[in-house]
Amino acid sequence: MIYLDHAATTPVDKRVLDAMLPYFCDCFGNPSSIHCCGRQSREAVETAREQIATLIGAASPAEIVFTSGGTEADNLAIFGTVCASKGKGRHIVTSKIEHGAVKQACKKLEHDGYEVTYLGVDGEGRVSPKELEAAIRPDTVLITIMHANNEIGTVQPIPELARIAKLNGIPFHTDAVQTVGKLPICVDALNVDLLSLSGHKIYGPKGIGALYVRKGCRMLPFQTGGEQERGRRGGTHNVPGIVGLGMAAALADAEMEDEAPRLARLRDRLIKQVLERAPTAQLTGSMTHRTPHNAHFTFVGVQGDALVAALDRRGVCASAGSACHSGMGGVSGAVAALGLPPERQEGSLRLTVGKLNDEAQIDQAVVALLESLRDLL
Ligand code: PLP
């Protein structure tokens, strides 16, 4: 099996699993309990908070809120900030290529009477700072634009976009689920107030994530209950998951310097071979502003889902779009927003590399792709 779907999820790193295991049976205390069992768990949670703060350059671990994943982090950022600024206005700016976790949250707010401006993207999938500037209104209460797209891998000019938000006094959120652990991230350099990340994209467990909330950024909880996470997210902590996320963050921090260029080399090897050898292949997105793990192509005369099935029969795991969109048919948001001809939009293929891959696998996957295309075309 050749796994080329690391943007959908990654396996748990064995070192992450080893760090998590004691927190199921041996160190099982509730971190909110004041006895020794609870204190032991609380220490582990706070260590993980520090590890995540270090990875993203947060000034203080207190700015990290644990969530059940990237989806909840996005929802908390959006609903939490708009609720906190109810008196100020009811307008939000986002992009047309956001992940469903942001897009659906915005749709829900529209349903509740908010107005949302969906910014388009250029041919590479980038949002224009000028268009953002023009979209801002006196009643804009939040700007949310993803750091890199999960399908086409385009990295947005977040420092520029967030600078515009700052000049206008508007909180800026970025969904960095596809970039944390892949690109060096510093929340101050990005200039963001809120940033979402997820464990299972960085060789951590599924069902755990975090939201960075800059000190002073007003946000109300959207999941209430206990006073956990300084009242920002109720519910008993998922201690093993949090420990796993912390370890995954620490490993990413230590290994990114070598791993990111290695992934970029694999990605470029893949892109070069596909463009040279596969009939009708075209690269989607940007070559310069691209995550190191993403290759996304369109083909003419073939359906993306059929191509994914043909690759699967040859032992290659790929995807036609985002994992959440698969099986829904039609063309996904990011590809549609690029303005490609309709016959290309249908023939999307995303191949995302990761720790499991080497050069030999890339070469084998290209052969499998050429054979699959030959069968289908
Ligand atoms: N945002 C982006 C860009 C993603 O790629 C994903 C996962 O596919 C999410 C949010 C959701 O994260 P999670 O699966 O942890 O809820």
Report the nearest-CA residue for atom 10 of ligand 1.
70
* Ligand 1 close to Cβ of residue 150 (< 6 A): yes
Active site residue: 27, 37, 83, 324, which one? 324
What pLDDT, on a 0 to 100 scale, did the predictor assign at position 33?
A: 98
Q: Is 324 a catalytic residue?
A: yes
d(CA 273, CA 359): 12
154, 201, 242, 294, best to mutate for ligand 1 pocket (most atoms within 8 Å of CB): 201
Query: Quick check: 352 and 295 in contact, CB under 8 A?
Result: yes
Ligand 1 centroid – CA 326 distance (Å): 14
Ligand 1: nearest atom to the Cα of 69? 15
Mean of all residue pLDDT scores within the chain: 96
Give CA torsion, residues 105, 98, 174, 196, to 10 deg: 70
343 pLDDT band, cuts 50/70/90, is confident
What pLDDT, on a 0 to 100 scale, did the predictor assign at position 211?
A: 98
* Ligand 1 close to Cβ of residue 180 (< 6 A): no
CA geometry: angle 150, 156, 158, nearest 5 deg? 125
pLDDT in tens, 60-105: 999 999 999 999 999 999 999 999 998 999 999 999 999 999 999 9
Ligand 1 centroid – CA 70 distance (Å): 5
Q: Which long-range contacts (CB under 8 A, 24 or more apart) does 256-262 make?
A: 256/181, 256/182, 256/183, 256/184, 259/355, 260/182, 260/183, 260/292, 261/292
**Token match 């909840």: residue?**
72
* Ligand 1 close to Cβ of residue 205 (< 6 A): no
Q: Write down the pTM of the prediction.
A: 0.97
Task: Decide if pLDDT at 155 tops 80.
Answer: yes
* Ligand 1 close to Cβ of residue 95 (< 6 A): no
Determine what percent of the chain is predicted with pLDDT higher than 90. 94
Ligand 1 centroid – CA 46 distance (Å): 24
Task: Decide if pLDDT at 324 tops 70.
Answer: no
Q: Could you tell me which residue, 328 or 157, shows the higher pLDDT?
A: 157
Ligand 1 centroid – CA 36 distance (Å): 35
* Ligand 1 close to Cβ of residue 321 (< 6 A): no
71, 242, 322, best to mutate for ligand 1 pocket (most atoms within 8 Å of CB): 71
* Ligand 1 close to Cβ of residue 182 (< 6 A): no
What pLDDT, on a 0 to 100 scale, did the predictor assign at position 330?
A: 62
Of 21, 1, 3, 23, nearest to 11 by C-alpha is: 3
- 14 Cβ partners below 8 Å, 6+ apart? none
What pLDDT, on a 0 to 100 scale, did the predictor assign at position 328?
A: 53
What pLDDT, on a 0 to 100 scale, did the predictor assign at position 133?
A: 98
Half-sphere exposure of 364 (CA within 13 A, CB side): 13
- 203 Cβ partners below 8 Å, 6+ apart? 10, 11, 12, 13, 16, 181, 248, 251, 252, 355
Poorest-confidence range of 209-223, 241-255, 285-299, 314-328? 314-328
Average pLDDT over residues 145-157: 98
Determine what percent of the chain is predicted with pLDDT higher than 70. 97
Cα 345 versus chain centre, distance: 22
Query: Quick check: 355 and 10 in contact, CB under 8 A?
Result: yes
What pLDDT, on a 0 to 100 scale, did the predictor assign at position 332?
A: 72
* Ligand 1 close to Cβ of residue 10 (< 6 A): no
What pLDDT, on a 0 to 100 scale, did the predictor assign at position 321?
A: 74
d(CA 307, CA 302): 7
pLDDT in tens, 212-257: 999 999 999 999 999 999 999 999 999 999 999 999 999 999 999 9
97, 198, 202, best to mutate for ligand 1 pocket (most atoms within 8 Å of CB): 198
* Ligand 1 close to Cβ of residue 178 (< 6 A): yes
